[in-house]
Amino acid sequence: HPGRNVGRGKDDTLFSQVDGVVKFERIRARSVISVYPSE
């Protein structure tokens, strides 16, 4: 599932909306992919 700064395309492709660091996180029972801006 998309998290922070991540979008989802029509074909369920996940894409970053900012340059930064990718983190795979668990929120409740879901895996979430987030991108945090690099400093």
20-36 pLDDT tens trace: 999 999 989 999 999 99
| Mean pLDDT of all residues in 15-21 | 95
Confidence (pTM): 0.80
The pLDDT of residue 31: 95
The pLDDT of residue 20: 95
| Mean pLDDT of all residues in 3-29 | 95
Task: Provide the token pair at 31.
Answer: 């895996």
Confidence of residue 39 (pLDDT cuts 50, 70, 90): confident
DSSP state of 9: -
Beta bridge pairs of residue 16: 6
| Cα torsion angle, 24, 21, 9, 7, sign | positive
